[in-house]
Amino acid sequence: MAPNKEVVSAIVNPVGSMTVLSAREVSQLQDTSQAGLHRLFRQCALAVLNCEQESDSAEELLGEYDTFDIRIVQEHRGLKLELIDAPASAFVQGKLIRGVRENLFSVLRDILYVASQDYAVIEEAANKNQAITDQIFQILRNSRSMHPKAPPDIVVCWGGHSIQHEEYEYTKLVGYQLGLRGCNICTGCGPGAMKGPMKGAYIGHAKQRIKNGRFIGLTEPGIIAAESPNPIVNELVILPDIEKRLEAFIRLGHGIIIFPGGPGTAEELLYLLGVLMHPDNTKIPMPLILTGPESARAYFEQIDEFVGATLGKKAQKHYQIIINEPEKVAREMMQGLEDVTRYRRKHQDAYHFNAMLTVEDRFQAPFEPTHENMANLKLDSKLPPHELASNLRRAMSGIVAGNIKEDGVASIRKYGPFQLKGDRELMERMDVLLQSFVDQYRMKLPGTVYTPCYQILSED
């Protein structure tokens, strides 16, 4: 452990619904074997406790607090958690910050719930797509993230963890305008463009005297340690993998705003466009706005050009780009939310879960970014647009893994960069886009020397 890191050891009482555990659950959480949950629980818990510090390296975080541990203390009146050498920034006057404590027990809740799922049932289901969607529904229901009586007011905000100061300030302005209009915010829960909208909306809620504002953070085990939940998140949900996390966003959210970002943001946009271009989804309203300050105009022009050149004009029609007008973004989003409300009322669809969306296998199946899988991705401009979107999404997902995820970083270190192959024109466009992310410091936090975890190759 680094000598300048202050640590605290403490016993923590539970909050929320996780007040008792079965003997089997305790055994799972304490099991340090490959099949046990202790390693996952420790890693996610450390990320939550480290929420005051911005980092994008799971490996570095675990190295800085290598003596950190978390144990279950079973008493006749219920459970407690023993924190050993936890980050001191999570405590005030010796007491764990309330929001951190809530999120810590959210980690416990979700890890145990996901571990209890019978995945054999899902694999053998006659309709596997629906079985996976049902699992996401159950995870969100177990976390109490769905509010059936609330009108459509959840705006998902996507964007990079590594963004410029001007871009970050702009995300706060947009969040503020949304907050004034009573919108709740859902993000990937990390720093940068995931934190800014929440911060702005919090002020907007305060001005409107909204006391029950929701700041929902959806994450997954491979991301959370590299992008710790920011301190504003008051509803944390951990999904099993990136694909279920992405589907949870579009099932729970009612509208989406995309700020500047890197490969992770490109992955989210490609995923959403791939889903929206499915013939069954063309009439389902999903307001989508790409926005940033004037300094981000060229960034969005490049993104728009890439989408048009690879997925076509039909894909471009699913979003609008608004530059440097936060109030207009909020007005347009409110109009979009009204369209969502009318559509769901007309079709008797629930406000709290977008069940009518069709999400195909290629967008649900977990993609493991191994060197072999990355090299075998079919990146061909002749593919149907929604299929190409899926493969491009997977390529971006692999780059995210190679940049920040513990396993991905270790794999790159051992075997070298991923190799992405495809037709020349497509790969040239992809190379230009990725290089712009590198040049604009969107791959890693500023101050970090970035070595690409990928190579772009042409098949012809």
Structure tokens at 136: 């996401």
CA–CA gap between residue 216 and residue 155 (Å, rounded)? 10
pTM, rounded to two decimals? 0.91
Residue 297 pLDDT exceeds 80:
yes
CA–CA gap between residue 30 and residue 73 (Å, rounded)? 11
Residue 426 pLDDT exceeds 90:
yes
Quote the pLDDT of residue 133.
Answer: 94
78-87/91-92 β-pairing: unpaired
Grade residue 3 by pLDDT with cuts at 50, 70 and 90.
very low
CA–CA gap between residue 333 and residue 194 (Å, rounded)? 18
Q: Which long-range contacts (CB under 8 A, 24 or more apart) does 407-416 make?
A: 407/222, 408/222, 408/369, 408/453, 409/57, 409/58, 409/59, 409/453, 410/59, 411/369, 411/370, 411/371, 412/453, 415/371, 416/371
Quote the pLDDT of residue 2.
Answer: 45
CA–CA gap between residue 275 and residue 390 (Å, rounded)? 9
- Which residues are within 8 A (CB) of 378 and not within 5 positions of it... i.e. 6 or more apart? 391, 422
Residue 77 pLDDT exceeds 80:
no
CA–CA gap between residue 134 and residue 267 (Å, rounded)? 23
Structure tokens at 216: 């929902």
> How long is the chain?
460
Q: What three-state secondary structure class fits 125? A: coil
Quote the pLDDT of residue 147.
Answer: 95
Output the 3-class SS for 326-381. HHHHHHHHHHHHHHHHHHHHHCCCCCCCCCCCCCCHHHHCCCCCCHHHHHCCCECC
Q: What are phi and psi of 457, to 5 degrees?
A: -125, 150
CA–CA gap between residue 45 and residue 53 (Å, rounded)? 14
CB-based burial, 22-37: b 16+ in 10 Å, e otherwise: eeebbebbeeeeeeeb
281 secondary structure, DSSP code? G
Grade residue 259 by pLDDT with cuts at 50, 70 and 90.
very high
For the segment 179-197, the average pLDDT, to the nearest whole number, is: 95
Grade residue 1 by pLDDT with cuts at 50, 70 and 90.
very low
Beta bridge partners of 216: 186, 235
- Helix 128-142 / helix 98-115 crossing angle, nearest 10 deg: 150
How many CA atoms lie within 13 Å of 384's alpha carbon, on the beta-carbon side? Answer: 8
Pick from 295, 357, 19: nearest CA to 167: 295
Domains of the chain plus CATH, in order, are 7-116 (3.30.1850.10), 145-346 (3.40.50.450), 370-458 (no CATH)
9 neighbors 85 (Cβ within 8 angstroms): yes
Grade residue 121 by pLDDT with cuts at 50, 70 and 90.
confident
